[in-house]
A and B are shown apart, each in its own frame.
Chain A
Amino acid sequence: MTAAVRPDAGLKLAGAAVFGTDLDVPGMLWAAFVPAPVAHGRIRSLDLRAARALPGVTVIGPDDLAGLVGPGERDSERTLFAEGEIVYRNQPLAVVAAPSLSEARAAVAAVKVEVDPLPIVSDLEQVFPEWPGSDADASPLIAAHVRARHGNVDVEFRKADRVVSETYRTASVHQVALEPHACVAEIRGDIWFVRTTTQSPFGVREDASSLLGWPESSIVVEGTWVGGGFGGKGACFLEPYALLLARATGRPVRLALTYSEEFRLGRTTLPAVVRMETAVTAGQIRARRVRLLLDVGTSLPGRDFATGYSIGFLLGPYRTEAFEVEGYAVRTHKPPFGPHRAPFAPQCAFVVESHLDHVARELNLDPEEFRARHHWREGDTTPLGQKVGPFGLASAFERARSTAREWRAEAPPGHGVGIGCGFWSTSTGAGGEVRLRLGPQRLVVLQGEREIGSGSVLAGLTAVAARTSGLPPERISIEYGNTAEAPFDSGVYGSRTLGALGRAIEEAVTALRRTLAQRLGARGQAELSIERDEIYAEAGERRAALVVLLTPEEDAAGGILAEGRHFAPPRTIDEKRVLSGSFYPYTDFTGAAHVAEVSVDPATGAVRVERYAAFQDAGTVVDRGSAQAQVEGGVAMGLGTALTEEAIWSDEGRLVNDGLLDYRIPTLDEIPPIAVEFIEGFAGAGPFGAKGLGEPPIVPVPATVAIATRAACGAHVTELPLSAERVARALKLL
C-alpha cells in the first residue's frame, strides 16, 4: 500500500517542525505550578513570601490577580487558582516564573501551604453503593442528571420472554499525546500574545478572555505544530497563567507540563458504572433500561454534555420499541472530565456490544444474527426520535461477518474471533471559515487550524481543494494564520475538520469559479487547469490564463480572493422524550464493524490480539492515505483502552500511575496486522458526502476484543480494561 506523501513529512523528518515544547524566546522565563497537596481541603494559609524572596522569581497567587486581570466579566465558576477550597490534588494554588526551570522548582518548593483536610470523594460506588435515590438531585455531588423515556417500558418488561440485567464498569483512560501541554506567552504592546500547542486557537482565545477579563480583541493565540491531541488539547489550559506571568514580569514566559503533570492534571475520561437491562420477546428487543453513573471529576454544575451525549451511545445503534435512560454525572475530587478521542463512546460500545452478545447467548440465539437484526438502518428513528440518515453499519457488519467466517475456519484451538460495532457522529462545532486566494500559479487556503497529526488539515483540506478546483494537489497550499490573521474556526476536534472547513472550501471555490466564468462571459462555473505552469480558466467558449483575468487590485494582492463558511446543518431530537437534562442530535451517522482474532493463555488469562480487520463507514473517502492512517491509529489506541490502559486513582484522590511505565499505552509488540476496508456510498455531511474519521475507528475496539475473548475462552468480562487478571477471574482461575 503506497500512501501519498504527507505535506509535512519532510519538515518533521528533518527535526525542523517547531512544537509547543520547542518554543524558545531569548530572555524567556520558565514557569511552574504550585500544586495542591491534597485532593480536598480548606486552605488555612498560603505563604508565598519565601518563594518571592528568591532572586529572579515572580509568583502569582489568588491575591495577585486584581492588578492583572481585565475589566471584563470573568467566569466565576472556573477560577484560575484554588480559592479557599481545594477540590482536586495538584490543583494550581499559584504559579511561579524564574530564569530557569530548576529555579522555578526551587520557588515552588519554597511555598508554604497549610491545609485542613476535608473528606475525599474518589470512587463512584463509594458514593452511591446503590443507585442514587430520589433525593440525589439535591446532592452537591451530582453535577448533572439526565433522563429520557419513550414507549411503554414497564409493560414491555413485564410481558417479556426474558429480561437480562448486567452491570459494567469502565476505567479512566488518558489521551497520552506524546507532547505535553506547553506554551510561551509574551505581551506585545497592548496585545496578550501566546503561542501554544492546541487543537483550537480560537477556543483558547475565547476561554482566555473569559478567564482573564480582557476582550478577545486584545488576545492573540498562535498555534504551533501539535504533538498529538486526541481531545486533550482542545481547551484553554496553561495559556492564561503564562499570559499573567508575562504581564507581571514584562518578559516572555514558558509554561510546560512535565509528563507526570500531564497525567495528574489531564482532563480526560474518568471511571463509569453502567447498568443494562434488556427485555426480549420473540427474539426481538422490546425495551431497554440503561443507567449510567459517570465520574466527571471536579466538573461544574450544569455541564452535562458528557452525560447527555454519552448516554446516546448506550442506546444505539440498535432498534428498540421502548426505552428508559437515566444518567448521573457525579462529582469527585479528581481533575475535570475532558474529551478523549470519541469521548466515552468506546466504553459505551463495549457495554452495549458485550451486553447484547450476552443477551443472545442467554436466549440461545446467534449473537451476530441477533445484533444484525436490530441494527439501525437509514430511515429508522433513534430512541431520542431523530431520523437515521445514510448509515453504513449494516454493510460494514456484513463484510465483518464474512471475514469472521474465514478467520474462524482457520483459527487454531485457543483462538477466538469476534465482531464489535460502534457508531459516531461528526460534530461541527460553532462553524468554520476559510479565505482563498487564487493566483496565477497557486491556490492558497488561509485558515486557522494547525495540523495535529491526523492529516485532516494539511492532507485533507488539500484533497478537498484539489477535488473542488480541479487543480492538482501540488498547486494547493494550506496556510495557517493566528487568531488575528485567519478567519474563525472552532477547532480540530469531533472529527469535524474535513467536514466543516472542507465545506467552507467548497463554497469558496465555487464562488471563485463563478466569478471567473462571469469574467469569461459565461454562466456557471469556470473549469481550472494547468498549462505551461500557469493556471487557466475555461467557461463557455472562452479560455484564458488566470493572470489576464485578474483586476489590478487582485494582481497586487497576489490573486483573486474568496471566502467560504460552513455551519452545522440543523438536526433535532424529539424533545418530548426528554424528561430532564440535555440530549443531543447527531450531525450524521458513521458506523463501523471490526473483527478481531485473539488468543488467550488459558493459564494466565493474557489476551493477545493476533489479527484485526476494520470495516469503516466513510461516506466518501477524500484522502485515502490519511483515512487509512486514522483507522490504523484509532484501532491501536482502542487496543490500549481494551487491554492495558487504566489510570488508577487512590482513595486519597492521587493518580497512582502517573508515568508512561505504569500507564501502559500499546507498544509495537501488541499491535496485530490491521486490515482496513472502507464502506462508501452512505453520504455524510462533509464535502462529497465524506464523514469525519478521526474518532469513529476507536469506538468498536474494546467491544471487539471483549467479544473475541469470550469466543476464545468463554470469559465474559464486564470491566475495562480486559487485563489478564480480569480474564483469569472470569475464567474462575482465581
Chain B
Amino acid sequence: MTAGQLRLTVNGTAVELADVPAPERLLDTLRWRMKLKGTKEGCRTGDCGACTVLVDGRTCLSCLTLAHEVDGTSVTTIEVGPEDALVGRVRAAFEAAGALQCGYCTPGFVMAIAGLLRERGTGAPREELLEGLGGNLCRCTGYTAIVRAVDALRTETP
C-alpha cells in the first residue's frame, strides 16, 4: 500500500485514519494528522527522547516509528486524561518537584517514566529507573528535579 487505513486507540479512544502514507512517522500522525501537539519533535533521529509515547504500554520513539507499523495498537500520549492514573501520578510528581522548566522535553520524560514504572513497578531499584532515562535529554533542569520526582514516585504507595 502507498497509503492506507490506520486503526489506533489513542488515549483510550479508537480512531480510524484514512489515507495515511506509508512513510509517515507515528510522530507526524499524532502531531499533524491528529493535532496532538503535546508530543514534541526534537531531533527526529531518536537521540533526544522528546517524542516518546507509549505503544501498548511500552515506551516508543515516535520519530523512528512508521505509523503503519503500530497499526492496531493502543497509543498513549501526554494528552491522556485522568483515566490514566499512572501518567497522572507522574504529572503530579513533576509538578511537586518542579521537574520542568521550558517544558519541551517534559512530555517525553513523563511518558518515559510512566513506561518504566509500568514495566518495572515503583519498587524497582533506583539505579535501574534512572538508567532507563538515559535516552531522554533535558537542557534546562540539569535533571536534578526530575530525579527528585522519580524518587518521590518510587517511595509513594500506589
Q: In the complex, A touching B, CB below 8 Å?
A: yes
Question: Using a CB–CB distance below 8 Å, which chain A residues touch chain B?
Answer: 1-6, 8-10, 12-19, 21-22, 24, 176-180, 225-230, 258-259, 452-455, 625, 629, 632-637, 659-661, 665-669, 671, 673-674
One digit per residue, 1 when the CB lies within 8 angstroms of any chain A CB and 0 when it does not, for chain B 141-154 equals 11111111000000
Complex contact B37–A660 (CB within 8 A) = no
Chain A: CB-nearest residue to B90: A13
Chain B residues within an 8 Å CB radius of A180: 42
- Complex Cα spacing A454 to B141, Å: 9
Which residues of chain A have C-beta atoms less than 8 A from B134's C-beta?
A: 667-669
Residues of chain B within 8 A (CB-CB) of A660 are 42-43, 45, 47-48, 137
Checking A6, A18, A659 against B100 with a beta-carbon cut-off of 8 angstroms, the contacting residue is A6
Residue of A nearest to B45 (CB): A659
Q: Type the 1/0 row for B36-69, where 1 means its CB is closer than 8 Å to any CB of A.
A: 1111111111011010000000000000000000
**Given A259-B44, A667-B134, A667-B137, does the pair A629, B102 have CB atoms closer than 8 Å?**
no
- Which one, B44, B101, B144, contacts A455 given CB within 8 A? B101
Q: Are A15 and B36 in contact (CB under 8 A)?
A: yes
Q: A259-B45, A660-B137 are in contact. Are A8 and B103 (CB under 8 A)?
A: yes
Cα A226 to Cα B142 in complex, Å, equals 18
Q: A454 and B139: CB pair below 8 A?
A: no
Given the complex, which residues of A lie within 8 Å of B102, measured CB to CB? 177-179, 225-229, 452-453
A671 touches B103 (CB 8 A): no
Query: Which of A14, A18, A228, A636 is close to B143, meaning CB atoms less than 8 Å apart?
Result: A636
A250 to chain B, nearest CB (A): 22
Please name the residue on chain B nearest to A177 by beta carbon.
B139
Main secondary structure of the interface of B (DSSP, over half): loop
B144 contacts across to A, CB distance below 8 A: 632, 636, 671, 673-674
Listed from nearest, the 7 A-B pairs whose CB atoms lie closest are A15-B38, A453-B102, A636-B142, A227-B104, A3-B98, A12-B103, A15-B78
Contact between B78 and A632, CB atoms less than 8 A apart: no
Inter-chain contact A258/B139, CB cutoff 8 Å: no
Closest to B79 in A: A15
B96 and A2 contact, CB distance less than 8 A: yes
Contact flag A13-B95 (CB < 8 Å), given A228-B139, A661-B47: yes
Residue among A24, A180, A452, A633 with the highest chain B CB neighbour number at 10 A: A633
A632 to B41, CA, bound (A): 25
Minimum C-beta distance from B35 to chain A (A): 7
Known interface pairs A24-B32, A633-B141, A660-B47. Does A228 touch B104 (Cβ–Cβ under 8 Å)?
yes
Q: Is the beta-carbon distance between A9 and B95 smaller than 8 angstroms? A: yes
B24 to chain A minimum Cβ distance, whole angstroms, is 10
B40 and A14 contact, CB distance less than 8 A:
no
| A637, B148: Cα distance in complex, Å | 18
| Interface positions of B from 75 to 118, Cβ below 8 Å from A | 77-79, 91, 94-98, 100-107, 110
B48: nearest residue on chain A (CB-CB)? A660
Chain A residue contacts of B79, Cβ below 8 A:
14-16
Residues in B whose Cβ lies below 8 Å from that of A259: 42-45, 48
Q: Across the interface, which residues of B come within 8 angstroms of A668, CB to CB?
A: 130, 133-134, 136, 138, 143, 146-147
Query: Whole-angstrom distance between the alpha carbons of A573 and B114 in the complex?
Result: 55
Chain A residues within an 8 Å CB radius of B142 = 632-637, 666, 671, 674
* A396 to B96 alpha-carbon distance, docked (Å): 29
Taking the complex as formed, is B156 at the interface, i.e. its CB lies under 8 A from any CB of chain A? no
Chain B nearest CB, measured from A209 CB (Å) = 28
CB neighbours of B110 from chain A (8 A)? 13
| Central interface residue in A3, A13, A660, A665, by most chain B CB within 10 Å | A13
Q: Let me know if B131 is at the binding interface, CB within 8 A.
A: yes
Chain A residue nearest to B37 (CB atoms) is: A22
Q: If the complex has contacts A13-B94, A21-B41, A660-B45, are A178 and B139 also in contact, measured as CB distance less than 8 A?
A: yes
A146 to B147, CA, bound (A): 45
The answer, yes or no, to whether B17 is at the interface (CB within 8 Å) is: no
Contact A18–B37 (Cβ < 8 Å): yes
CB distance from B21 to the nearest CB of A (A): 9
- Which A residue sits closest to B135, measured CB to CB? A667
If A180-B42, A668-B143 are given as contacts, then 16 extra A-B residue pairs at C-beta distance below 8 Å, sorted by A number, are: A6-B98, A9-B100, A12-B103, A13-B91, A13-B95, A13-B100, A13-B110, A14-B91, A15-B107, A24-B32, A178-B139, A629-B98, A660-B47, A661-B45, A667-B137, A668-B138
Chain A residue numbers with a CB within 8 Å of B41 are 21
B42, B44, B98, B110: which has the most chain A beta carbons within 10 Å? B98
Decide: A178 and B141 in contact? CB cutoff 8 A: no
Q: Which residues of B contact A177 (CB under 8 A)?
A: 102, 104, 139
Is B140 part of the binding interface, using a Cβ–Cβ cutoff of 8 Å? yes
